[in-house]
Amino acid sequence: MSRSAHPAGPRHADVLTEGHYSAPAADLNVLDEKVWSRTVTRDADGGLTVGGIAVARLAEEFGTPAYFLDESDFRARCRAWSEAFGPDADVFYAGKAFLSRAVVRWLKEEGLNLDVCSGGELTTALDAGMPAERIAFHGNNKTVAEIERAVEAGIGRIVLDSFQEIVRVAHIAQRHGVRQRVQIRVTVGVEAHTHEFIATAHEDQKFGIALADGQAAEAVRRALSLDGLDLIGVHSHIGSQIFDMAGFEVSARRVVQLLAEIRDEHGVELPEIDLGGGLGIAYTSEDDPREPHEIAKALSDIVTRECEAAKLRTPRISVEPGRAIVGPTAFTLYEVGTIKPLEGLRTYVSVDGGMSDNIRTALYDAEYSVALVSRTSDAEPMLVRVVGKHCESGDIVVKDAFLPADLAPGDLIAVPATGAYCRSMASNYNHALRPPVVAVRDGEARVIVRRETEEDLLRLDVG
Ligand SMILES: *Cc1c(COP(=O)(O)O)cnc(C)c1O
């Protein structure tokens, strides 16, 4: 994802201070279909439409800022993943990317399983009718109450993350008179090619049990010795927003090696491995994500090859895409407010949201694209920084991008690929009202998560 420095647009020809933006697209009115959801297009008047509805109408009906989620795209991505992996594998959607009751119903209808990592996500999943056996429970610090609830519900699997948790879950399962299906999360020592704070399989971090020093083998020994646990496999998740399959290859190889060691030591072949999620999506035109069928083929080839070499039966594979399913399906619609040109630097374009609806830019230095969507424009490109309305100078939504120089207050702009980790990480900072999520499909739009109101704020404030 390296970005080449490029002479800026004519409006700010002297700006080369940071050099982390690419050239403006030849025509800012052309939407790069890589970063927009499938039904997004411009209509005859030049306004953007999604699911056949003009954004101007959506803004009028639902207000801004708001997330618009392309439901048919979401469902198509679910199907693409489950068809790519086929009947001998399981696709678990990582609920933390974005979860709501409607999403749970779509997943259920499209045949996917679901990862949760808190009591709140579990409650949402069960409330919307996801069968407990299709749910996996993750997390490095599940509370006793959460584990109890999961075991009572008959959850499909709990992914054990520590030695203490192995004992904790075993005791709870025993108390409930069940053998809980579990996997052990191992850290395979792979550092995915991504931002440090979202890489999770190198060893100096809070998740999982290290393969190194025989820690994972010891965890397996303990899990196999406890009556309350039915150890079905090993789990590895190496990071997020990954494009390079090499990390997955190393991870799969090490996980299969562990299965072979378990077979040699205990005489059991664990039937499943989970290779986690983390597959990258296109946030800008420079990102080139892989299609689910390529990913499925790459992963199953590696596992098959490694198992043949180790003379193991090929285990059932599961994967856990979150971002790759929901990320590309939504955009955030904002209304442009104050526009502040800083001579010789860039133009600051303020929108009616910000870090409260998209923290990823501030948190991970994430890159996004942006487009003027209420109309087209033939004005020359100007270098902009899209910022929110919060009391932080780091309140940046899109760090460097180009918008037409005739941009004016009241215009609508949209940031694509905000389906994952935006609403789910949204906050009330500055007592912002978290935006709604509106599902759009076949000419119909309906709110699936409503906008927060000032009454909601006051309801929690009971002092
Ligand atoms: C976050 C997470 C995922 C999903 O990651 P994406 O980047 O959204 O695909 C999958 N599995 C585990 C264990 C995770 O923590």
312 and 230 in a common domain: yes
Residue 425 lies in a domain: yes
Domain that holds residue 258: 138-321
Average pLDDT, the chain: 93
31 and 154 in a common domain: no
To test the pocket of ligand 1, the residue of 112, 237, 317, 326 to mutate (highest count of ligand atoms within 8 Å of its CB) is 237
169 and 298 in a common domain: yes
pLDDT digits (tens, 9 = 90+) for 426-462: 999 999 999 999 999 999 999 999 999 999 999 999 9
Residue 192 lies in a domain: yes
Confidence of residue 249 (pLDDT cuts 50, 70, 90): confident
Residue 112 lies in a domain: no
Residue 198's pLDDT is 44
335 and 306 in a common domain: no
Residue 94 lies in a domain: no
289 and 260 in a common domain: yes
19 and 152 in a common domain: no
Q: How far is the CA of 406 from the centre of ligand 1 (A)?
A: 40
- Residue 427 CA to residue 205 CA, distance in Å, equals 25
Which atom of ligand 1 lies closest to the CA of 327?
A: 8
| 323 touches 241 (CB < 8 A) | yes
The residue type at 106:
W
Residue 142 lies in a domain: yes
Spot the catalytic one: 78, 117, 391, 422. Answer: 391
Which atom of ligand 1 lies closest to the CA of 276?
A: 11
Lowest mean pLDDT among 6-10, 56-60, 289-293, 459-463: 6-10
To test the pocket of ligand 1, the residue of 320, 323, 422, 423 to mutate (highest count of ligand atoms within 8 Å of its CB) is 320
Residue 422 lies in a domain: yes
244 and 187 in a common domain: yes
Residue 79 lies in a domain: no
Q: Which residues line ligand 1 (CB under 6 A)?
A: 94, 96-97, 115, 138, 237, 240, 276-279, 320-324, 420
pTM: 0.94
Identify the H or E element spanning 160. strand 157-160
338 and 317 in a common domain: no
Long-range contacts (CB closer than 8 Å, 24 or more residues apart) made by 450-454: 451/62, 451/63, 451/66, 452/428
Pick the last residue of a domain from 266, 290, 321: 321
Confidence of residue 22 (pLDDT cuts 50, 70, 90): confident
How many CA atoms, within 13 angstroms, populate the side-chain half-sphere of residue 128? 21
Domains in the chain: how many in total? 2
Confidence of residue 379 (pLDDT cuts 50, 70, 90): very high
Q: How far is the CA of 323 from the centre of ligand 1 (A)?
A: 8
pLDDT digits (tens, 9 = 90+) for 195-205: 443 445 567 78
- Residue 20 CA to residue 452 CA, distance in Å, equals 35
Q: How far is the CA of 321 from the centre of ligand 1 (A)?
A: 6
pLDDT digits (tens, 9 = 90+) for 60-104: 999 999 999 999 999 999 999 999 999 999 999 999 999 999 999
297 and 156 in a common domain: yes
Residue 391 designated active-site = yes
Q: What is the mean pLDDT of residues 156-178?
A: 98
332 and 317 in a common domain: no
333 and 317 in a common domain: no
Backbone angles phi, psi at 133, to 5 degrees: -70, -15
Pick the last residue of a domain from 305, 321, 337: 321
Confidence check: pLDDT of 6 > 80: no
Pick the last residue of a domain from 321, 337, 353: 321
pLDDT digits (tens, 9 = 90+) for 285-327: 999 999 999 999 999 999 999 999 999 999 999 999 999 999 9
The residue type at 98:
F
| 145 touches 119 (CB < 8 A) | yes
168 and 34 in a common domain: no
| 100 touches 124 (CB < 8 A) | yes
Identify the H or E element spanning 219. helix 215-225
pLDDT digits (tens, 9 = 90+) for 205-214: 899 999 988 9
Q: How far is the CA of 385 from the centre of ligand 1 (A)?
A: 29
Confidence of residue 14 (pLDDT cuts 50, 70, 90): very low
- Counting every residue written for the chain, the total comes to 463
